[in-house]
């Protein structure tokens, strides 16, 4: 068995970027079925155009339409494509210098095997069926047979200049907990709340950490915590947000379990929000056992015990 618990996790979000006049011009061109380069102070045509001249650092203002046919200047085989690449089967990445340009553009080249690629081969743009003003409006490059010429891009509805682009990012990880976090989650799966004590300063951390953040000592001694504790601070959530599981208003609070030196953040239910207060004594309320997993969500919420409030001095050092 692995020392630690692990689980797959996906981190996904969209980057929305404004493109500015140069990149926007290039992407507008792709949507309209033309490849646009920019001329540098040295007279070179660069595709995609550079926003600023590499020598004078002046903004690029001169744009040039180049051909959608060009020459492969370097290539590499992609035997095991990764997610979101232009093809999900083996293909080539290539640097292609389009006719009329002086430097190459990076894109995918649709060939079935490395034997079908050579440096110097002639290729042409294969346009995407639907074009929106994005680098993927070029679906890929494809080999140009002898005698063939460039093909005009299917007509596109001309529109406003492209001013923004959205890049979708989705990264998959196998997330591993630390050995100490694993202790905590294994405990929860058995109905226990586990912490660890620092041998140097004797503080009890829950969830346990790999080292005491105060003195850097590895935490080793395992401690099972009480299921009762004190609310040290709280907030009433009144704002609805995406993914919210409970209808507002509700209370999110720091609960300092008896015997612990760090509070856990959890939900307080079983009491009207306006009655929740600092010092209130609460206890863990678990979900039915058959719903348990390796998760803090096994504890459905904390609810008042009905005991008198804790004295401020008992938790003032943990605020």
Partner 1 sequence: MRDVAVVGFAQRQMLGFDGSPTCVELLVPVFKELYEQTGWTRKDVGFWCSGSSDYLAGRSFSFVQAVDAIGVIPPVNESHVEMDLAWAMYEAWIKIQTGEVDTALVYAFGKSSAGVLRRTLALQLEPYTMTPLWPDTVSLAGLQARAGIDAGLWDERAMAEVANRSLTDAEKNEYAVRKGGSSVEELLARPMYADPLRKHDCSPVTDGVAALVLAAGDRAREVRERPAWLTGISHYVDPMGMGVRDLTRSPSAQRAGAALDLGGVEVAELHAPFSHQELILRAELGLGADVAINPSGGALASNPMFSGGGIRVGEAAQRIWSGEADKTLAHATSGPALQQNLVCTLEASTEGARI
Of the candidates 315, 231, 227, the residue with the CA atom closest to the CA atom of residue 281: 231
Nearer to partner 1, 16 or 160 (CB): 16
Q: What is the DSSP letter of 146?
A: T
> Which stretch in 18-26, 142-150, 151-159, 259-267 sits in contact with partner 1 by CB under 8 A?
18-26
> Which stretch in 70-78, 148-156, 225-233, 310-318 sits in contact with partner 1 by CB under 8 A?
70-78
Q: How far is the CB of 262 from Zn ion (least distance, A)?
A: 11
Q: Give the whole-angstrom CA distance, residue 186 versus residue 221.
A: 16
Count CB atoms within 10 A of the CB of residue 250: 18
Q: Give the whole-angstrom CA distance, residue 243 versus residue 251.
A: 17
* Residues 129-188 interacting with partner 1 (rule: CB under 8 A): 134-136, 165, 167, 169, 171-179, 181
What track of x and - describes contact with Zn ion for positions 176 through 205 (by CB under 5 A)?
Answer: ----------------------x-xx----
Residue 48 contacts which entry, Zn ion, partner 1, none (Cβ below 5-8 A, type-dependent): partner 1
**Is position 199 an interface residue for partner 1 (rule: CB under 8 A)?**
no
Count CB atoms within 10 A of the CB of residue 63: 16
Output the CA torsion 211→217→223→225 (10° steps): -60
Chain-centroid distance, C-alpha 89? 25
Residue 172 contacts which entry, Zn ion, partner 1, none (Cβ below 5-8 A, type-dependent): partner 1
Yes or no: say if 144 and 120 are a contact pair by the CB < 8 Å rule.
Answer: no
Of the candidates 104, 47, 46, the residue with the CA atom closest to the CA atom of residue 71: 104
Nearer to partner 1, 54 or 249 (CB): 54
Yes or no: say if 62 and 38 are a contact pair by the CB < 8 Å rule.
Answer: yes
**Count of residues making up the chain:** 319
Which of 74, 118, 214, 305 touches Zn ion by CB under 5 A? 214
Residue 45 contacts which entry, Zn ion, partner 1, none (Cβ below 5-8 A, type-dependent): none
What track of x and - describes contact with partner 1 for positions 86 through 105 (by CB under 8 A)?
Answer: x------xxx-------xxx
In our burial notation (b when 16+ CB lie closer than 10 A, e otherwise), range 153-176 reads beebeeeeebeebeeeeeeeeeee
Q: How far is the CB of 177 from partner 1 (least distance, A)?
A: 6
Residues that bind Zn ion (CB under 5 A): 198, 200-201, 212, 214-215
For partner 1, the binding residues (CB under 8 A) are 2-4, 9, 11, 15, 17, 19, 23, 26-27, 46-48, 50, 54, 73-79, 82-86, 93-95, 103-108, 114, 119, 134-136, 165, 167, 169, 171-179, 181, 209-218
């Amino acid at each position: 068995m692995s020392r630690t618990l692990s689980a797959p996790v996906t981190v996904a979000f969209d980057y929305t970027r404004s493109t500015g006049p140069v990149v926007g011009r290039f992407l507008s061109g792709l949507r309209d079925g033309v490849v646009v380069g920019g001329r540098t102070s040295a007279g070179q045509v660069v595709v995609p155009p550079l926003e600023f001249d590499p020598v004078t650092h002046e903004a690029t203002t001169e744009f040039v339409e180049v051909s959608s046919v060009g020459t492969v200047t370097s290539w590499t085989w992609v035997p095991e494509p990764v997610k979101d690449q232009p093809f999900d089967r083996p293909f080539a990445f290539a640097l292609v210098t389009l006719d009329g340009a002086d430097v190459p553009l990076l894109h995918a080249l649709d060939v079935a095997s490395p034997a079908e690629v050579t440096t110097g081969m002639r290729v042409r743009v294969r346009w995407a069926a639907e074009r929106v003003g994005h680098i993927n409006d070029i679906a890929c490059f494809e080999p140009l047979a002898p005698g063939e010429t460039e093909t005009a891009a299917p007509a596109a509805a001309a529109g406003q200049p492209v001013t923004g682009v959205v890049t979708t990012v989705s990264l998959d990880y196998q997330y591993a907990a630390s050995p100490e976090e694993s202790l905590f989650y294994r405990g929860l799966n058995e109905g226990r709340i586990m912490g660890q004590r620092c041998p140097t300063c004797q503080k009890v951390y829950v969830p346990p950490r790999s080292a005491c953040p105060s003195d850097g000592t590895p935490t080793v001694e395992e401690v099972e915590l009480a299921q009762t504790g004190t609310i040290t601070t709280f907030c009433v959530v009144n704002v609805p947000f995406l993914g919210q599981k409970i209808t507002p208003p509700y209370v999110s609070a720091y609960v300092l379990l008896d015997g612990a030196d760090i509070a856990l953040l959890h939900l307080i239910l079983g009491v009207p929000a306006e009655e929740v207060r600092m010092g209130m004594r609460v206890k863990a309320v678990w979900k039915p056992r058959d719903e348990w997993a390796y998760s803090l969500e096994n504890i459905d919420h904390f609810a008042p015990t009905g005991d008198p409030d804790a004295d401020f001095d008992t938790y003032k050092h943990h605020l």
